Structure 1
Amino acid sequence: MATLIGESRAYLGIERNTTSHREKLLSALGAALAIVVVNWATQLSVQAGFINVGTSFFIIASMGASAVLLFAVPHGALSQPWQLVGGHLLSALIGVLCHRWIGIELIAAGAAVGLAVAGMYYLRCIHPPGGATALTAVTGGDAVYQLGFEFLLVPILTNVLLILMVALAFNGLFHWRRYPVHLGRRAKLSVSPEPVTREHEITQEDFAAAIQEQDSFVDITAEGLTELLELAKRHAERNITHPRSIVAGRCYSNGKLGKLWSVRQVVDESREPPPVRDRIIYKVLAGDGGYETGICLREEFRHWARFEVEFRNGHWIKAGESIDDVDEPVESRTTNAS
């Protein structure tokens, strides 16, 4: 029976929530406060004439979904400011255009949501509530249709800016809730660096403990993290040698994890004979020491570098290798992980 229950939970996606009761209650309080502030402030602005829009449509339902993300998952990639603002505004624009250009509401609704998803992908602002915003622009009725493109100003832009301000203020009251998430990353940089080498293998239990210690909802399971680690380790095993040559203009990675990871680009070289030794000038493009420049012997740089890398589709990958090259059936990955 226990096995059946466990399998059922896995298929249904019911995961153990390790966040504390304090964190759960704070998320609920922040979301409730945000909706109250957004609704009240938008109504007040319209009624006072600060926003000259003749409508009683002050707040849209998708703000409730945004509140869940900003206050329950403040560290999530889909909750960050650009995702919030860009996702809603782009989706609203697409929704209004679909309503105007497509006469059949059924088709317009589907087109609005589909195009909103595609647009958010390409503009790197995927925010799930944006789909609801696009749908509202098509199916919201006369109260929305009469606004036309002013729908992007009220209620969308005003709602978005207000809920963003509440999220910044509320999450900022608690040191473990960093929003935007980059604030937390910057704070961690001031901590003393980790040792270059580790003697212990990271386990699934370590991931689970780390998630629990973070005390914030994380939109990935411990199993998913360990699978990513296994794939990364297998990637590393493909090439454990240093580059044979260091070429100006190319980028190289030291292949480390976390705060120790770094990508450097060789921006200039000397290649002068003795007594002047062969030196190169590099710039840090990502990771530890970002945007710093330095100069060293070519051989020193070669020993620092693990492999040459290229920037593709928002990721640093080994040169000459496609992201698709690492895709393989889940069964194969599970076998290797075990």
Structure 2
Amino acid sequence: MVRSVVAAVIMVAFLGACMGRTGFRWLLSGIGWTPDSTSYQEKLISAVGATLALLLVYWITHQALGGDTALWVTGSMGATTVLVFAMPHGMLSQPWSVVGGHLVSAAVGVACATWLPLGAWVAALAVGASIFLMMVLRCLHPPGGATAMIAVLGGPAIQQAGFGFLLYPILLDALVIVAAALLFNNLFHWRRYPLALARYQVQRTPGIAPEDFHYALRQMNAYVDIEFDDLLHLVELANEHAKSHGVSEADLVESGCYSNGLPGSNWAVRQILFILPRRPGRSGRVRYRVVAGNGLGAEGICRLSEFALWARYRVERADDGWHRIKGVDPADHGRS
């Protein structure tokens, strides 16, 4: 095991050295590795909550089932604890998804094991059917797929329990996890479980209505694990942040790069070549070059006030693209 880990680390380091910094970042992005926005405190809280809930589930399950069968069921419930404690605001983590997902999947699995000849194909059929029913009943829960497979391949103990397996231990385990999530997650003001307890006063962003979001989601035709009000709240917070961090004339500096912050093909970055300060009877002027986006390579001259209105924020170029500069160095103001 240790040798395998060491070999993997060496291989990753070797790839990084061969591909260079930019190539290595592209590789990480390609495999789905993305920056993490959660604090270590949040990570620890998630881990502690899942551990406490799973200890209780482990004990309950071993009272109903023995040996390897109990371990299988505990494994499925362990996946559920990851969702409800690490992603308590996710749609896949909500009580109906947890309880309904496990019950539907267990029922499908027991039915397949009871009415069909046992075989690997029956387990695969049970998982596929449970996914379909969970989506139809709006209780999609990934660990439910494992529960369906366990009901088919779990052995004599589950076969003897029959449909009673749904109530004990599956239903009881699911209810215990939901109850633990209710008690634990709500100890922290930034966590609310279930999500119905977290309701935001959302001010609709100009030009974007809830119906527009509904239309966009229908066009995507894919399952999005975010509650609709959370999506609107996210856009509202981003809009407020953008409004509160504009660029003033005093922020403009020579050689600085500024983005207009527009989406799609309208996006552009201008670099200030030089600034002509205000003179009596004449406003200050800026000469700039477009260094990215719409109009790449073009140059122009405009008033300081016009450039400040055009610019949303100052940016700088990195290996993986343009990044917003959060603060402005007060020393730069003297050069404007």
Task: State the TM bucket, normalised to the shorter chain.
Answer: 0.5 to 0.7
Give the structure 2 partner of residue 19 of structure 1: 38
Aligned match of 1:78 = 92
Kept in 2, the 8 Å contact 1:35–1:67? The answer is: yes
| Change beyond 3 A, Cα 1:336–1:93 | farther
User: Which residue of 150, 159, 162 corresponds with 1:145?
Assistant: 159
Look up the match of 1:40: 59
Structure 2 residues not aligned, in runs of 5+ = 1-19, 220-230, 236-262, 268-292, 294-336
Distance 1:178 1:4, change over 3 A: same
Partner Cα distance (1:17, 1:101) in 2: 46
Q: Counterparts of 1:144 and 1:115 in 2: how far apart (Å)?
A: 19
Cα distance between partner residues in 1 of 2:204 and 2:138: 34
Q: CA deviation at 1:155?
A: 1.2
1:69-108 residue pairs with structure 2 within 5 A?
69-108=83-122
Q: CA deviation at 1:38?
A: 1.9
Q: 1:335 to 1:2 in 2, by over 3 A?
A: farther
Report the structure number with the largest CA radius of gyration. 2
Q: Work out the number of aligned pairs and report it.
A: 201
**In the alignment, is residue 5 of structure 1 matched against residue 24 of structure 2?**
yes
Question: What is the letter of the counterpart of residue 52 of structure 2?
Answer: L
Answering whether residue 81 of structure 2 is matched by residue 63 of structure 1, we say: no
Which of residues 184, 193, 211 is equivalent to 2:198? Answer: 184
Question: What is the TM-score of this pair, normalised by structure 2?
Answer: 0.54
Distance 2:204 2:115 in 1: 60
Q: Could you tell me which residue of structure 1 aligns to residue 124 of structure 2?
A: 110
Distance verdict in 2 for CA 1:121–1:336, change over 3 Å: farther
1:336–1:40 Cα change, 3 Å: farther
Separation of aligned partners in 1, 2:51 and 2:154: 23
Deviation at 1:336, TM superposition (A): 8.2
Select the structure that is richer in helix.
2
The code of the aligned residue for 1:8 comes to L
Letter in 1 for 2:113: H
The 8 Å contact of residues 27 and 71 in structure 1, kept in 2 or not, is answered as yes
3-state SS of paired residue (2:30): helix
Q: Secondary structure at the match of 1:60?
A: helix
**Cα distance change on mapping 1:3 and 1:159 into 2, 3 Å:** same
Secondary structure of 1:90's match? helix
What letter is aligned with 1:7?
A: W
CA distance in 2, matches of 1:73, 1:66: 10
Contact 1:168 1:180 in 2 (8 A): yes
TM-score normalised over the length of structure 1: 0.54
Aligned to 1:31: 50
Q: Which amino acid aligns with 2:50?
A: A
The whole-number CA distance in structure 2 between the counterparts of 1:94 and 1:334 is 46
For residue 60 of structure 1, report the CA deviation from its aligned partner.
3.0
The Cα offsets for residues 187-221 of structure 1, whole Å up to 9 and x where unpaired, read as: x23xxx648759xx9xxxxxxxxxxxxxxxxxxxx
Structure 1 gap ranges (5+):
47-52, 202-227, 236-256, 262-332
Change (3 A) 1:3 1:112: same
Distance (Å, rounded) in 2 between the aligned partners of 1:32 and 1:134: 24
1:272 alignment counterpart: none
TM-superposed CA distance for 1:107, in Å, is 1.4
The residue aligned with 1:136 is 150
The DSSP-based 3-state class of the residue aligned with 1:61 is: helix
**Rounded Cα–Cα distance in structure 1 between residues aligned with 2:117 and 2:185:** 43
Superposed CA deviations along residues 237-289 of structure 1, whole A, max 9, x for unmatched, are xxxxxxxxxxxxxxxxxxxx947x9xxxxxxxxxxxxxxxxxxxxxxxxxxxx
CA distance in 1, matches of 2:204, 2:129: 47
Give the whole-Å Cα distance in 1 for the aligned partners of 2:97 and 2:58. 21
Does the CA-based 8 Å contact 1:60-1:155 persist in structure 2?
no
State percent identity of aligned pairs.
46
